Chains A and B, each alone.
Chain A
Amino acid sequence: MSVGCGIDLGSRSVKLAVLDNNKIIELKKFDTIQFYRDFGRRVEGQLVIDWAGLGVVEADYVVSTGYGRNALDLAGAKIMPEIKAHVVGAVYQTGLKNFTLLDLGGQDSKIVKVVEGRAADFLTNDKCAASSGRYLENMAHVLGMSLGELGRYWQDPVELNSTCAVFGESEIIGKIVDGNPMPNLAAGVNYTIFKRIQPMLRKLMSPVLVFTGGVAHNRALREIICAASAVELVIPEHPQFNGAIGCAVSGAKG
């Protein structure tokens, strides 16, 4: 049987999923900059990857998706559209066919209505990435806590209103000065993400919501979503690898 590798070239991290006979045998994540610097080389306009250096099993086929694919032609790889990769990944991981997919990554917020295993409609953030993981990273840094710690708070959120994620930093510094407790500030940050995705979510809602992307690890956001809407929230086993898994799965189908 064939071994397939899916690569999701994200803005913050590169995710690899290796499948053997449709079973996940390996998942690896690299910092995006580090990945290109240490394991990638440009040869005649194509990105050639040092597979041995990566320490990943050599695959019979490679399928890639993500931001990078528009700028980089990955040598020897088939490319697939991101939304499709995420839908295939979510169907594979959850076994569901009808649901709304919420994918919150480093820069992207994607909401896809999935009907009978296929994308029926989708919305994404545009012009502004203040609803993404990168915003959480920045805010965690300002608050002096880890991403894991930040994701623990959802009660009594402090209201944050800046449109701009960078101005959001000075806004939160003002709130610190005002003496707001850290848990409320952290809850405010998490709630901000929800407010930005809520209009898109409402347009494409289904009874089941599958939540993927790195931000799915944020427990607070999961609690906020459940409290605000009567949905069954499903987090696949590997939310951050969903796109890479989708690539590997669809490659197996030929």
Chain B
Amino acid sequence: MKIGLTTTVPVEAVFAAGHTPVDINNIFISDADPMGLVEEAELAGYPRNVCGWIKGLYTTVLRSTDIRTIIAVTQGDCSNTHALMETWQVKGIEIIPFAFPYDRDYDMLQLQMDKLVKALGTTWGELKAWKTKLDKLRGLAWELDRLTWQENKATGFENHLWQVSCSDFNGEPHTFGCQLESLITELKTRQPLAEGLRLGFIGVPPIFPDIYDYLESMGARVVFNEVQRQFTLPFRVEDIVEQYRLYTYPYNVFGRIEDIKQEIERRRLDGIIHYTQSFCFRQIEDIIIRQQLGVPILSLEGDNPSGLDARSKMRIEAFVEMLK
């Protein structure tokens, strides 16, 4: 059966149990009318000043006919998820909670993974076997990422899309692997893209993915997608618990900052776009990010999936102009 995910979780457990993981975020944002999904959640009573992703996720699941069980991340993503889970629960959706320990404690994480393994009725042996399989696919995503920043061959959007898809491998790991492999083959023969401004995109994936093409139309390209890259668990470690412990996104901001600093240097970034959702607690973390990164930063807010708005365009344009 299909099992929905509210964000990246140890997805090996879902495959190991013989189920198909579905990252609901990806279903929501690739819907023909994502704004309609947000509006429907508002009609149900979701406040206007709540993250658009939460609202989109709510309706996406209720409209779906085959997602009846969801692994919801209760710690390490966002507290709005709690109420999201509860409003699903009253509609008859089964919820399996998963918590990334804030302090990155190994034992606590292992315990959470153990509970997940048991809830899904699989074993650690199966889990580890799937880790080996999925790491091969993640390796392809790492290669795509390398081709993006080191050889200038992939666009910011391609980099975003394939890495963000590593939360569930589109539910079809074999097909995912074949498609990504053929893309990589094609990229290797591609002429390098024009060398312009090199930007980093940090924060949650954007609710307006058209931002990548917009930036490229102005001679600036995203060669680092922070959280999307984290979704590929870019750490060569044997231990699966350690792999999810090194994953920066669900823990405190300082681990993220360390990772971002390394990538700024390695990828020779000219500037950073710090993206947050309007009304998100991560807007507060912008204070620390601005203090600690030491490169020009544009703090950008996105609300609804209605495309890049005129105001954001004005701000992006000014930022690019400033860096040139």
Contacts and interface: CB of A to CB of B under 8 A. Distances in A.
A70 B296 CA distance: 24
A122 interface: yes
Interface residues of A, number: 17
B322 A122 contact: yes
A52 interface: no
Contact of B321 (A70, A119, A123, A203): A119
Nearest to B322: A119
Interface stretch (A81-89, A130-138, A212-220): A81-89
Interface stretch (B239-247, B255-263, B307-315): B307-315
Contacts of B313: 70
Interface in A110-135: 118-124, 126-127
Contacts of A119: 318, 321-322
A171 B296 CA distance: 40
B317 A81 contact: yes
Interface in B267-309: 278, 290, 296, 299, 301, 303
Given A127-B278, A127-B303, A70 B322 contact: no
A209 B321 CA distance: 22
A110 B299 CA distance: 14
B317 A71 contact: no
A121 B301 CA distance: 17
Interface string B49-90: 000000000000000000000000000000000000000000
A83 B310 contact: no
Given A70-B313, A81-B317, A127 B322 contact: no
A83 B322 contact: yes
Contacts of B322: 83, 118-122
Contacts of A81: 314, 317-318, 321
Contact of A82 (B278, B301, B303, B318): B318
B278 A122 contact: no
Given A70-B313, A126-B301, A83 B278 contact: no
A127 B311 CA distance: 9
A126 B321 contact: no
A133 B299 CA distance: 24
Contacts of A71: 310
Given A119-B322, A121-B296, A70 B301 contact: no
Contacts of B299: 123
B318 A122 contact: yes
Contacts of B317: 81
Given A70-B310, A127-B278, A84 B321 contact: yes
A200 to B, nearest CB: 11
B315 A124 contact: yes
Interface in A54-96: 67, 70-71, 81-84
Nearest to B300: A126
Contacts of A124: 311, 314-315
A33 B55 CA distance: 36
Contacts of B321: 81, 83-84, 119
A120 B318 CA distance: 10
Nearest to B303: A127
Contacts of A123: 299
B324 to A, nearest CB: 10
A156 to B, nearest CB: 33
A107 B145 CA distance: 40
A72 B108 CA distance: 56
Nearest to B278: A127
Given A121-B296, A127-B301, A127-B303, A67 B310 contact: yes
A119 B286 CA distance: 20
A126 B322 CA distance: 19
A84 B317 CA distance: 10
B200 to A, nearest CB: 17
Nearest to B299: A123
Contacts of B296: 120-121
Given A120-B322, A127-B278, A127-B303, A82 B310 contact: no
A79 B313 CA distance: 14
Contacts of A118: 322
Contacts of A70: 310, 313-314
Nearest to B316: A81
Pick the most buried of B301, B303, B314: most chain A CB atoms within 10 A of its CB.
B314
A122 B314 CA distance: 12
Interface string A189-212: 000000000000001000000000
A83 B318 contact: yes
Nearest to A70: B310
5 contacts: A83-B321, A119-B321, A126-B301, A126-B311, A127-B301
List 4 tightest A-B contacts by C-beta distance, closest first: A83-B318, A81-B317, A70-B310, A119-B322
Interface of B: 278, 290, 296, 299, 301, 303, 310-311, 313-315, 317-319, 321-322
Interface of A: 67, 70-71, 81-84, 118-124, 126-127, 203
Given A84-B321, A121-B296, 18 more contacts: A67-B310, A70-B310, A70-B313, A81-B318, A82-B318, A83-B314, A83-B318, A83-B321, A84-B318, A118-B322, A119-B321, A119-B322, A121-B322, A122-B318, A122-B319, A124-B315, A126-B315, A127-B301
